[in-house]
Amino acid sequence: MNQDGTGLVTRSGSLPSEPYDVTVVGAGVVGAALARELARYRLRVAVVESSDDVGEGTSKANTAILHTGFDAVPGSLEARLVREGQRLLSAYAAECGIPVERVGALLVAWDEEQLAALPSLLEKAGRNGHDEAALLDAAEVRAREPHLGPGALGALEVPGESIICPWTTPLAFATQAVRSGVDLHLNCRLTAVGQGDAADGTPHTLRTSRGDVRTRYLVNAAGLGADTVDRMLGHDTFTVTPRRGQLIVFDKLARDLVRHILLPVPTALGKGVLVAPTVYGNVLLGPTAEDLDDKQATGSTAEGLAGLREKGARILPELLDEDVTAVYAGLRAATEDDDYQIHARPGQRYVTVGGIRSTGLTASMAIAAYVTGLLADCGLDLGGESRELAPVTMPNLGENFPRPYQRAELIAADPEYGALVCHCERVTRGEIRDALASTVAPGSLDGLRRRTRARGGRCQGFYCGAAVRELFDRRDWLATR
């Protein structure tokens, strides 16, 4: 922590020698939410993250839906935390400017069997507390979604389902955590744990790629690596099997084709292939669900994309005529269990937060509050009541909210907000400068894209790439302007 109470963001060099009260392994959306929650207490907190940025793992590559949890298994931990997390994140997003659009979802039945399954899904939604869900007949479905393919027999409407910016969310958490005193150590992979002694208070020694860190309490929020970290502490209770989800991003001209999140009736393998708008104004088609054994396999395959196009052609045939802006894939941290793998080990002053498969973005803030309670149960002295954190305001990346290039008063005060660099996504020099000078600054061009949308449009950086790179390469100079 600095003298002004702000935490450190480090990317290289040795680590502080003073022991932390709590260290979180992993700066995905879950680890970042936890860091923010812990920052509300009088604690010395660190996050160690193996990559060079926040939200660089599964958290950067999902379908970006703020779920209601209408279809979760009633009574499961996931159902509870998704429902609570949706409430918390909706309020937090409004407070700090994370774009959210409450577009609602339609769960579309394409055959008699699926149609017959809708009433029980409605009943399940009710048991999960979503009484506003309703059944629609074929004519009502078509009236709501005029571009839907032929053959839709009916749907379950879930009005509360929303789309959200998945990139701003972990960044907002991390920014607020660091400004409130949490240290964030990037490029810092945990490789082994020398366990301390709870009886005499000896801290654990975490061996990392940047040297040792000492900590009294440890939280494993390592996503795909959560089973590996768990084994470092002697536990063999679950194995992460990466479940790949490939997605296609369609051009913004496709946005008018779809009004809701269009979901299929779920199968045992997951929620199935959906069509959904994004807060950036694109349309997503995906994801696939492929169980793999390689935790690095985030590539797209011709077979996977062809399968998506086949399914998309039935749901929204005109979508297939639109240009593709990008493809990507994310890996869900699936385990042999259907529920989250959150376990407290009081004797080790250790909490595992694993198996956060397909709902972790939504549930992140509720997971953070739950895990903080578990740490207290493990003996962590929270040092009194929690405090309100100074609010943060994040740059708006949402297409349905005013962007800097549209704000005359902002441009009059600072002409840099009128100087477009990325024309596809309308990103200005002012926004790039701000991102480079931000509390958790990007360490790469991809990180800059997640903070500004620069190079994320239909040309994918073909036209603006050199200009964006030049600004990025001059970041130390720009950050002082």
Ligand X SMILES: Cc1cc2nc3c(=O)[nH]c(=O)nc-3n(C[C@H](O)[C@H](O)[C@H](O)COP(=O)(O)OP(=O)(O)OC[C@H]3O[C@@H](n4cnc5c(N)ncnc54)[C@H](O)[C@@H]3O)c2cc1C
Residues that bind ligand X (CB under 6 A): 25-31, 48-51, 56-59, 62-65, 67, 189-190, 221-225, 229, 245, 287, 330-332, 356-362
Tokens 């309490």, residue located? 217
- Produce one character per residue of 405-436: b if its CB has 16 or more CB atoms within 10 Å, e if not: beeeebbeeeebbbebbbebbbbbbbbbbbbb
Q: How far is the CB of 61 from ligand X (least distance, A)?
A: 6
Cα 207 to Cα 210: distance, rounded to the nearest angstrom: 8
- For residues 223 and 430, which CB has a smaller minimum distance to ligand X in the complex? 223
- For residues 31 and 264, which CB has a smaller minimum distance to ligand X in the complex? 31
- For residues 30 and 427, which CB has a smaller minimum distance to ligand X in the complex? 30
Handedness of CA 262, 263, 264, 265 (dihedral sign): negative
- For residues 21 and 49, which CB has a smaller minimum distance to ligand X in the complex? 49
Q: Which two tokens stand for residue 373?
A: 């309670």
Strand 211-220 and strand 20-25: the pairing is parallel
Cα 481 to Cα 475: distance, rounded to the nearest angstrom: 10
Q: How far is the CB of 194 from ligand X (least distance, A)?
A: 15
Q: How far is the CB of 326 from ligand X (least distance, A)?
A: 14
CB atoms within 10 A of CB 386: 15
- For residues 7 and 430, which CB has a smaller minimum distance to ligand X in the complex? 7
Distances (CA, A) of 20 to 205, 288, 291, 466: 10, 41, 37, 42
CA angle 391, 57, 246 (to 5 degrees): 120
- For residues 237 and 465, which CB has a smaller minimum distance to ligand X in the complex? 237
Q: How far is the CB of 340 from ligand X (least distance, A)?
A: 9
Which amino acid is residue 394, in one-letter code?
Answer: M
Q: How far is the CB of 268 from ligand X (least distance, A)?
A: 17
DSSP for 177-225, please give it.
Answer: HHHTT-EEE-S--EEEEE--BTTTTBPEEEEETTEEEEEEEEEE--GGG
Q: Are 261 and 161 in contact (CB under 8 A)?
A: yes
Spell out the alpha helix ranges (H) of 53-111.
Answer: 77-96
Q: How far is the CB of 114 from ligand X (least distance, A)?
A: 21
- For residues 108 and 478, which CB has a smaller minimum distance to ligand X in the complex? 108
Query: Which of 67, 130, 185, 204 does the annotation list as catalytic?
Result: 67
Q: Are 167 and 60 in contact (CB under 8 A)?
A: yes
Query: Distance from first CA to last CA of the chain, Å, rounded?
Result: 25
Q: How far is the CB of 332 from ligand X (least distance, A)?
A: 4
**What's CA 223's distance to the chain center, in Å?**
12
Q: Residue 67 catalytic?
A: yes
Cα 98 to Cα 92: distance, rounded to the nearest angstrom: 8
User: Which residues form the catalytic set?
Assistant: 67
